[in-house]
């Protein structure tokens, strides 16, 4: 019967709508975000997203399929604004998430919850496809240690991390 055949596809559409809705709801709390993509509603203890025009310097970071960032360590001075140029030199997607240990753990858990789907770019994270280069500008405000991590499924656990030392 033709009418019965409509039911499964309607169900699939409903599920797809739920999945899309969940994706938008959990990882894009930026309905009121500004035109430059930053969200004034989210505060970070380790600094803030900044205007690329205000960057003191640009640092290139190469992400590769052997689960490494190069360089994996970096030293900046508190008050410095850095534009990170993330180059994906591999065949797999990688991402660059800036954050303290709590932020890294949260991001890792979020990806697991979403079944490993691609993250949306946020104020402190960008996803970079194979062969692509993306930029993220950040102003470091406090001395301490800030971590970088890739949260594509399995990458963080495989050691795709790095460390930024922020000097006073």
Interface residues with Cu ion (CB under 5 A) are 94, 150, 152, 155, 160
CB-nearest residue to Cu ion: 150
Instruction: Considering the complex, state which of residue 38 and residue 127 has its C-beta at the smaller distance from Cu ion.
Output: 127
Residue 4 Cβ, how far from Cu ion at the closest point, in Å?
Answer: 45
Residue 137 Cβ, how far from Cu ion at the closest point, in Å?
Answer: 21
Residue 65 Cβ, how far from Cu ion at the closest point, in Å?
Answer: 8
Residue 162 Cβ, how far from Cu ion at the closest point, in Å?
Answer: 11
Q: How many CB atoms lie under 10 A from the CB of residue 3?
A: 6
What is the DSSP track for 33-82? --TTS--TT--BTTBEE--GGG-SEEEEEEEETTTEEES-EEEEETT-EE
Instruction: Considering the complex, state which of residue 94 and residue 107 has its C-beta at the smaller distance from Cu ion.
Output: 94
Instruction: Considering the complex, state which of residue 48 and residue 59 has its C-beta at the smaller distance from Cu ion.
Output: 59
Instruction: Considering the complex, state which of residue 125 and residue 160 has its C-beta at the smaller distance from Cu ion.
Output: 160
Residue 163 Cβ, how far from Cu ion at the closest point, in Å?
Answer: 16
Tokens 């994906």 identify what position?
88
Q: 101-113 and 2-27 are packed helices; what angle lies between their axes, rounded to 10 degrees?
A: 180
**End-to-end CA distance of the chain, in Å?**
73
Instruction: Considering the complex, state which of residue 94 and residue 139 has its C-beta at the smaller distance from Cu ion.
Output: 94
């Amino acid at each position: 019967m033709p009418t019965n055949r409509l039911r499964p596809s309607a169900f699939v559409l409903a599920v797809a709508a739920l999945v899309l809705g969940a994706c938008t709801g959990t990882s894009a709390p930026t309905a009121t975000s500004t035109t430059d993509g930053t969200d004034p509603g989210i505060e970070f203890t380790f600094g803030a997203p900044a205007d690329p025009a205000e960057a003191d310097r640009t640092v290139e970071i190469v992400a590769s399929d052997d689960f490494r960032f190069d360089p994996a360590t970096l030293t900046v001075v508190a008050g410095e604004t850095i534009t990170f140029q993330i180059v994906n030199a591999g065949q797999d997607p990688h991402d660059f998430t800036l954050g303290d240990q709590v932020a890294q753990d949260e991001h890792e858990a979020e990806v697991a919850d979403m079944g490993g789907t691609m993250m949306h770019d946020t104020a402190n994270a960008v996803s970079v496809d194979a062969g692509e280069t993306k930029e993220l500008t950040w102003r470091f405000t406090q001395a301490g240690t800030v971590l970088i991590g890739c949260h594509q499924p399995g990458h963080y656990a495989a050691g795709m991390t790095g460390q930024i030392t922020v000097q006073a």
